[in-house]
Each structure stands twice: as structure tokens, then as C-alpha cells.
Amino acid sequence: MKKSLLFIFTGIFLFVACSQKEKESEEKTDEPNQEVMYEEIIELEQKLFEKTEPDAVLAQQMIDKYVNYANKFHEDTNAPEFLFKAAEIAMNFGQPANSVNYLSRIEARYKEYDKYGACLFLKAYIYDYYLKDKEQAEKYYQKFIDEFPEHNLVEDANAALMFLDLDDAELIRKFEQMN
């Protein structure tokens, strides 16, 4: 009798365990694959850029799609581009801290990305104008200038550094003196 009960319990245990693994396997296959996620991004981009008025809900959906793709397929060449686009949208929709986060991910992982220099400049700009963190802004403007001395934004970075510590009144006086 004990052997029969042991056999029954073992059978039930194996049945439950196998059912759970099958369920987990089905859940994993429900996740969209890379091609599907990419197509969803393209479709959503078209919707977002067709809008004549800013759409915060659609923008957030776009950010989420970009970031999810980059998280799931971080080795893909589209990952840094999608993080960059997420950073731009986040900056323009009042999420500068998130924007810096996405740019930091590019900085940490995708130094060979063709817009890497622009990432550093944009990060400095966000620290400067949106987050009002002059110390970080100076650090990133200088890093940008040091690493990309021939970049077409170097003059802008130098100008930003020159005016970084000026308050509005001092800035107005400086511009008046220049004219």
C-alpha cells in the first residue's frame, strides 16, 4: 500500500511539474520576437511622427517600445539607436532624468555607436538646461570636447562652457557687450 501511495504521489508531482514547465514554455513563446518588435516600432514611429500636436501617451508608448527592444536585444545594432531616440523623446516630453539614463546606457555600452559624440553633447545639454546640474554639464561638455575635437558641435559646447556659470542678468550683459 505504501508503495502504491508513493507511486501515486510521485506521478502527481511529475504531472504538476511538467505542466508548469509547459505553461512557462508557452508564456515565453508569447513574447514577440525581434522582427515583430521591430515592426511594431516602425508602425508606432509612423503614428507618432504623423501627429501635428504632441501626444504624450503615444510618446511614452514609443519610449517603452524602444527601451524594451534595447533591453531584450542589446547586442543588436538598433539598440543604441533606439535608446538615443528614447532619450530624445523623453527629453522633449518632460523626462530629462530618464533621457540621461538612456544616454548613460549608450555611453556605458555602445562607444562605437556613430552618434556617441552627439550622446555626450546631449547629455551635457540636458544636465545644463533641464536638470540645472552645472557640475555634470561641465563634465560632459568637456568630455565631449576632449573626445570629439573635430565634431560640428564643439563650438556649441565651448560656448555653453563659457556661459555655464552666468545667471540670467550676467548672460544678458554679456550678450549686450558682444553686440
The overall pTM is greater than 0.85: no
Q: How confident is the model at residue 38 (pLDDT cuts 50, 70, 90)?
A: very high
pLDDT at 168: 65
Give residue 11's identity as a one-letter amino acid code. Answer: G
Summarize pLDDT for 102-147 with one digit per residue, the tens.
Answer: 999 999 999 999 999 999 999 999 999 999 999 999 999 999 999 9
What does the alpha-carbon distance between residue 41 and residue 102 come to, in Å, rounded to a whole number?
Answer: 17
Helix axes 134-147, 116-125, angle to 10 degrees: 160
Tell which residue, 134, 100, 135, has the closest CA to residue 120.
Answer: 100
Residue with cell 544678458: 172
pLDDT higher than threshold 60 for residue 3: no
What cell does 120 get?
A: 555626450
What cell does 64 get?
A: 517603452
pLDDT at 48: 81
pLDDT at 10: 46
Percent of the chain at pLDDT exceeding 70: 76
User: Helix, strand, coil shares of the chain as percentages rounded to 5?
Assistant: 80, 0, 20
Q: What is the mean pLDDT of residues 9-35?
A: 56
pLDDT higher than threshold 60 for residue 1: no
Q: How confident is the model at residue 153 (pLDDT cuts 50, 70, 90)?
A: very high
Most confident listed range (8-17, 46-55, 108-117, 158-167): 108-117
pLDDT higher than threshold 70 for residue 165: yes
What cell does 75 get?
A: 547586442
